[in-house]
Amino acid sequence: MTDLIDNSNFIIAQIKERAANTPRIVSPRSRRFTKEFREIIKDAINADIPLPRIAEILSVSVTHLKRVRDEMHGIPRSDRGEHSPRETWKSSFRKIRELIQSSHTNTVLEDFGRYTITCYDDRGLQIARLLVDMPKEGNETLVCLISEHGKKEFFFTYPAVKKFFEDYVS
């Protein structure tokens, strides 16, 4: 038992030392943490240290730590406060999948990892367009849905959605 406590204290000491030698904020106006500091946060979360303890060690809010944790797991930030990110993602992916499956014909254009999927109804009228940006590395896929009225919706999606689009466009 004391070995586990000593190990966690050692990890905490390492995290404190790395955090002390790393700049935190990119610029005062953006209030966004640097990539290096976000990596320290991710390492602390991976070490299974409770979030309140990490927040105390690094002097950041628990809410920010939860956002970084969700980002690590590929869960997008919720645009609305009333739904969890997971529910928002499920409903948006369902909308995209139903749109592709219900359209009469689709055209797919590829341009260096970015796909444009145009959906048409049975009369040949365009009903929607999907812009899918799939990076070669990493697991985050950006989808922009443009409806027939020009309304844009953006989704940052899970690795499973990337697999769906890779299978669809191939």
Q: What is the pLDDT of residue 136?
A: 64
Top-confidence residue, 159 or 93: 93
pLDDT in tens, 35-94: 788 788 888 877 777 888 888 888 888 887 887 777 777 666 654 344 455 555 566 667
Structure tokens at 100: 């592709």
CA 142 to chain centre: 9
Dihedral (CA of 24, 25, 26, 27) sign: negative
Dihedral (CA of 93, 94, 95, 101) sign: positive
Bridge partners of 25, per DSSP, are 33
Report the percentage of the chain scoring pLDDT > 70: 58
**Cα 127 to Cα 54: distance, rounded to the nearest angstrom:** 48
Bridge partners of 141, per DSSP, are 157
**Cα 38 to Cα 40: distance, rounded to the nearest angstrom:** 5
